[in-house]
Amino acid sequence: MSKLSGFPELLPAERNVELYVLDHLRRVFELHGFANVETRAVEPLETLLSKGEIDKEVYTLRRLQATDEESDAGDTLALHYDLTVPIARYVVENANALEFPFRRYQIQKVWRGERPQQGRFREFTQADIDIVGRDTLPFHADVEIAQVMGEALAGLPVPHLTLQISNRKVLEGFYLGLGVADPVAVMRIVDKLDKVPADAVKKMLTDAGLSDDQAHACLALADIRATDTSFVEQVRALGVTHDVLETGLDELASVVGACRPVDGVTVTADLRIARGLDYYTGTVFETRMAGYESLGSICSGGRYDQLAADNRNTYPGTGISLGISRLLVPLLADGLTSDRSVPSAVLIALVDEESRATSTDVAQRLRARGIPTEVAHKAAKFGQQIKQAERRGIPYVWFPPAAGTDGQHSVRDIRSGEQRDADPDSWLPPTTDLTPQIKEPTS
């Protein structure tokens, strides 16, 4: 049977890399006080379609034995294509039981019916963090989201990342200052600059009704980027003024200026970033990975002041989403892996089937102290049992004494060949041997 395109499945050693990433993200998010939630996999189709032009990307659900009446009922369910729309619904439905600002992280599968290609899948895993307020949300939440995700990204076993930050108020205010009648339409066009040459984007702008001077100014703004707040003066040097522009510049400078330097991540203001979805209202984020720029953004998000609301309240929020599958699957294909395919740090050798209970007892004593351990599946020659451990990456083989003797236990590090006496109630391997370790691709 051939593989299903767009539905990645990982081998055990690759899955260990993914688990390492998930555990790291959970630790960072929880250290910053984000609570974990999991929303249902399905939403009403009309809810999903109300949040952007994604109708061709949604998988709908239909029971195999559904009647014609059910099919025409107008209450079609669909698999969620991101985690932002579900959390908006979740907040509204549970507002009376939540404390605001509500800080949540969510790591789940999502589904999109798009054409599979590098970094794009039909089923994939995302990790989101959001801070949601009731009626108001202070701007410092935008700053915190950038800081937390920057810290999370810094601990990942991946190439250098660039966290690009912009603000839609900067773009909107600049376009309004130019006299542009429809700033949102211009944002959508400028947002294509990563995929379309600048000359083609300029033609799109003039075709949309902008003058040559206006189109040139829009491209000049999009060329501005800086790793500090110097972008503010670069924008002002373009000679455009508007109150919304000044508000956006102040907000963007606050975010960029507050992000602490971290290894492996560069934070930069990048004024070509607009994000295509209309619900973003201020700060926006995108992230590129060195050497894998063709993937596009692997971590995106922003501020959304009107995404969630009920008859009494509005729930503004700010958040960012990391595409775990988009990030990892290309790296795994290029050789990123772990040093073993199993969690076991120790294989207990089996002298013969009659002594299996003895080997199992030793395994339990090691497990009781947090050492992942398994017993050999059959009583082969010790050399064969050592090779079994080696094939699976298990670093230690434990040899119990022969049954009916007072002999000493011993343990062998099969990487070095060193073997020494050991007590199952006190022996400990180095901490790095307790869990699978990441192996970088060899050049």
- Annotation: binding site for L-histidine: 82-84, 112, 126, 130, 275, 279-280
- Distance between CA atoms of residues 329 and 186, nearest Å: 34
Annotated binding site: 82-84, 112, 126, 130, 275, 279-280
Stated as kind and residue range, the H or E segment containing 43 is strand 42-44
Q: Which residues contact 403 (CB under 8 A, 6 or more apart)?
A: 351, 354, 355, 358
- What's the gap between Cα 338 and its chain centre? 19
Q: Which residues contact 195 (CB under 8 A, 6 or more apart)?
A: none
Side by side, which strands form the sheet with 77-79? 42-44, 77-79, 60-61
Beta strand 410-413 with 373-375: parallel, antiparallel or unpaired?
unpaired
User: Which 8-state DSSP code applies to residue 378?
Assistant: S
- Distance between CA atoms of residues 269 and 250, nearest Å: 12
Please answer whether residues 399 and 410 qualify as being in contact, where contact means their C-beta atoms are separated by less than 8 angstroms: yes
- What's the gap between Cα 174 and its chain centre? 32
CB < 8 Å & 24+ apart, contacts of 110-114:
110/79, 110/80, 110/81, 110/82, 110/83, 111/59, 111/79, 111/80, 111/81, 112/54, 112/57, 112/58, 112/59, 112/81, 113/56, 113/57, 113/58, 113/59, 114/6, 114/56, 114/57
User: Which 8-state DSSP code applies to residue 5?
Assistant: T
Please answer whether residues 111 and 87 qualify as being in contact, where contact means their C-beta atoms are separated by less than 8 angstroms: no
HEC sequence for 328-346: HHHHHHCCCEECCCCCCCE
